Amino acid sequence: MEWEEWAGWYERIKSTLNYSIVDDSSAATLLSTLIKDRALDLERLRVLIEGKDVIVFGAGPSLLDTVSKICSSDQSHTRIWSRLVFIAADGASRALIEHGIRPDVVVTDLDGDHGYLLCADTLGSVMVVHAHGDNINLIKFLVPKFKNIIGTTQVKPLNNVYNFGGFTDGDRAVFIANAMNARSITLAGMDLGSIIGQYSKPNHHPVNSSVKVVKMRFAKQLLEHLASHADSRLYNLSPSRIEGFSNIAYEDLLQQIKD
């Protein structure tokens, strides 16, 4: 999504949730400074994703169901999913790692479990770290610890901090996969409802459920907007209904992508 198009979405989000463009811009500048001369080249993401079949894992209540199906796949199915690109939205990285799956990419604004975010980085996951006004202290604390980092922002991009569109970690991951020309994008654990999944926030981060519902509403709207012009094939393993994404069973998905 180009900045000019995203600016209208950002204005709506900012007005609804009382965000400060000054704080968001300050966070982006800080992130840019901290990753100067050590951020991964964007080509690293493109090589990982372009032409590939991607599953984006959100931290919704249905996440574990999909992860369990992947882990219990028979040998023929395992050969198929070993060719998939796994992108975890923040806390979903913990569920994957706990089940022995290394996420290829983690999209995070740093409010997931810090131990698992650092573990993902150590395992070689590309950490796409998002800057906004509410996570400046987390940026200062965690970003210097990451070795495999790319920066994003929700305001005007900088030379080394990108804006692909998307608001929450989950839908932003989908926008990134689309921008990197994925062959197909499948949602998993993207329930986008009022029930907070166990991997959504660590215990020390209380969740304001009313704010979370508003965020999920924006995420759904953005995904439907993306679906209206995306070139990738779009599937959904989650129970949510998102216009433009075909709800599909895991076994049927494997048949769709095996060729």
Q: What is the pLDDT of residues 81-103, one digit of tens each?
A: 778 999 999 999 999 999 999 99
pLDDT in tens, 134-170: 999 999 999 999 999 999 999 999 999 999 999 999 9
Sheet with 149-153, strands from edge to edge, namely: 161-162, 149-153, 126-131, 105-108, 85-89, 53-57, 184-188, 233-236, 246-247
From the list 92, 110, 28, 4, the residue with the least C-alpha distance to 55 is 92
Token pair in block for residue 247 = 């709800």
**Is residue 204 predicted with pLDDT exceeding 70?**
no
Q: How much is the pTM?
A: 0.95
From the list 169, 115, 119, the residue with the least C-alpha distance to 147 is 119
Domains of the chain by residue range: 3-257
Within 10 angstroms of residue 230's Cβ, the number of other Cβ atoms is: 18
From the list 215, 33, 189, the residue with the least C-alpha distance to 109 is 215
Average pLDDT, the chain: 92
CA distance 109 to 93: 13
Q: Name the pLDDT band for 107 (thresholds 50, 70, 90).
A: very high
Q: Name the pLDDT band for 202 (thresholds 50, 70, 90).
A: low
